[in-house]
Chain A
Amino acid sequence: MRSRRFFVIGLLAALLIAGVGSFYASSHPDGLEFVAGETGFLDSADEPKTSDSPFADYQTAGVEDERLSGGLAGVVGVGLVLVLAGGLAYAVRRRGGSSEPTD
């Protein structure tokens, strides 16, 4: 498979999962949250300091439709992570292209 095709398919998969699939995710508490509730330390959690972020709790502020609100937050998150992690990888990579054995 050509590189361009591979990366386009991979990115589309990530965008679809975050933008569409996430709506169908289980809304039950995750393992840690559940255990915290069950064993009695859930109340020691503080209110998140970033809860006024426009994408807090994977919902977009000001967007009423829950499906659209969550999907937008997911797509924005995927984009942010792609740019930051990809940029970081480009910054620290070996220049010149050819790969050499590392271990």
Chain B
Amino acid sequence: MHVPDGFLDAPTSVVTGVVAAGGVAVALRKARGELDDRTAPMAGLVAAFIFAGQMINFPVGAGTSGHLLGGALAAVLVGPWTGALCLSVVLLVQALFMADGGVTALGTNITLMGLVGCFTGYAVFRLVAAVLPRRTSSIAPAAAVGALVSVPVAACVFTLLFAIGGTAPVDTGAVLTAMVGWHTVIGIGEAVVTGLVVASVVAARPDLVHGARHLVEARELEIRRAAA
């Protein structure tokens, strides 16, 4: 969903740039609450993994492809504020070095995939996790649902921006229908990848998963003898 230069006019890009800069500034302060010596390396790893995952376009039919956006994945693994920072770094490197996503559209892309992706994904994750049993096995399915919803929501926000500041005279309804339709299908891929990755990390190191923290900390109170 990397927006190139030119899709949106200058005023809209300036506004999304201000939104992104404000979001990153708040995230820099809030991420402090999510990061300590143990979880800081996790943020680097999650960002690197999302960069890699975004290179894997999977076909979704009719000559279209999608790839992991990673907002929900990052938010569940390292927390939404740190996740937004991770996505911002990924998008910055992509725009500056890979010519993927416009430099003047960096604010738009951070807003869509960083802020909207992470916070939509995390909000839905928390809602679903609240109704599922309080077990670590509930974390991956809840993350998958968050991922599924986050992609079409980001597509909707793009369409809104396009309706306000799109440079081409194209009917907004047609863009909305096509964007939401395709990104719902891409969202299924996002859900599968997010679910599998979160399940793997929960299986290996549940204590490093931000979204599972409350379950693991309760369990750590048990005293166990080293059996082998």
Contacts and interface: CB of A to CB of B under 8 A. Distances in A.
A49 to B, nearest CB: 5
The interface size bin for chain B is 35 or more
Interface in B64-123: 64-67, 79, 82, 85-86, 89-90, 92-100, 102-104
Given A30-B65, A73-B98, 4 more contacts: A46-B102, A74-B52, A86-B47, A96-B36
A82 B51 CA distance: 9
Interface string A47-78: 11111011111100000000000000110111
B44 A30 contact: no
The interface size bin for chain A is 35 or more
A31 B155 contact: yes
A81 B98 contact: no
Contacts, number: 248
A50 B95 contact: yes
Contact of A35 (B37, B93, B171, B182): B182
A41 B166 contact: yes
B170 A40 contact: yes
Interface of A: 1, 3, 6-7, 10-11, 13-15, 17-18, 21-22, 25-32, 34-36, 38-41, 43-51, 53-58, 73-74, 76-90, 92-99, 101-103
A31 B66 CA distance: 6
Interface string B1-26: 11111110000000000000000000
